[in-house]
Amino acid sequence: MQDKTISVYIAEDDPLSAKMMTILVKRIGFKFLGLGMDTDTVMREVGELQPDVVLMDINMPGSTDGIGATEYITKTYNIPVVYVTANNEDSIFDRALKSTPYGYVLKPIDKENLRVVVETGYSRHLLNKKIQEKKEELAALNKSLEAKVIARTQEIAEKNQQLEKALLREKELNEFKSRIVTTISHEFRTPMTTIMSSAEIMESLITKNKPKEKIFRHTQLVKSSVVELVDLLNDVLLIENFDSGGYQITYNILNLDEHFKELLFKTEIGIGKDHIIEAHIAPEMDSINTDKKLFSQIINNILSNAFKYSEAGKKVRINAHIDQQFFYFSVQDEGIGMDEKTVQMIFDSFYRAKNVTNIEGTGMGLSILKKSVDMLHGEIKVESKINEGSLFKVKIPMA
């Protein structure tokens, strides 16, 4: 027996049969909800009354027959239907089964048989409903688990990326340290040898009471060698400061007209004295708000490379101008130039091209240049061809 009273709706077009079925339903103990004598009325009222079970005659008048009404009710309202009919033709029975009814009772109706079919059909309906609910719960759980798996997978992927970055950073630091050791051991050898030799010679000269002029010449060599060592160490420390994030940018107003006036004067009597300098510096460039140390590193490194890798007598073109947003600086030389592969690698710390082995350098200048440009949120581009020279172009924000 059911824990609740089953409510029943009767679909029957024969008045006498409808009356008898109504009495029988009440005697069994079911709750009678309504009676429909055509399928259109049945489909409408079942939706309104929502009975637990519908007793459906197959041969019903209306826009469809009882089987069509059953398919609609099952699909639309998910209410179980039990066929109560006198039609026992095989073709009708086969068609009725395809509409998935919850029972099939032939007329004349037996009270006990009707009770068992209705209760069994309704119980099966409740069981199917619970199964469907569990399926939906399981689907929701699976969806939730999938979301958690996706989130967890993404979290793991992000941590793996962080780990890869950390490992890459560790690798870069180890390579950097290795290059420092290699560079220092190589670059320190010449000035240290000079210092040692000059110290020994000065010691000998002093012992033999030689003229001071000869001693002073070697003290100057010692001083210049010490300056060379200090510059090398400063470059190494500056690169490490950049890489570790230890460098603090300090913005100040720099007058570009005064800066380039002084720069050109120093260049003409210094590193550019043996070259032809063609300068195109825009007049009244105003001032730029920038880090003066980084700005000077950029300008000086570009100029230094242009003159260093160009033969005496070659032309070096210097251009500088501004617009409302950016300062533009370029230097073009007629030097030894670089191939495409070298251009891709020149900003790596300690990298030196194969065609500059006979020219002094540590391979740190262009690395410092690139890192300085990046820290000022600028851009740098390089164009070069072997034996035709190089063009360095820099764009730096005015503020």
pLDDT digits (tens, 9 = 90+) for 291-343: 998 898 888 889 888 888 889 999 999 999 999 899 999 999 998 888 888 87
CA angle 312, 316, 317 (to 5 degrees): 165
pLDDT above 60 (res 360): no
271 Cβ contact list (under 8 Å, min separation 6): 303, 304, 307, 308
Q: What is the pLDDT of residues 203-243, one digit of tens each?
A: 787 887 777 777 777 777 777 777 666 666 666 666 666 66
Q: What is the pLDDT of residues 232-241, one digit of tens each?
A: 666 666 666 6
In angstroms, what is the C-alpha Rg of the chain? 48
CB 184 within 8 A of CB 229: no
**DSSP notation for 260-308:** HHHHHHHHHHTTTTTSEEEEEE-S---EEEE-HHHHHHHHHHHHHHHHH
The pLDDT value recorded for residue 173 is 64
Q: Is 326 helix (H, G, I), strand (E, B) or coil?
A: strand
The pLDDT value recorded for residue 2 is 53
Q: What is the pTM of this model?
A: 0.47
pLDDT above 50 (res 355): no
- Residue of 230 and 80 predicted with greater confidence: 80
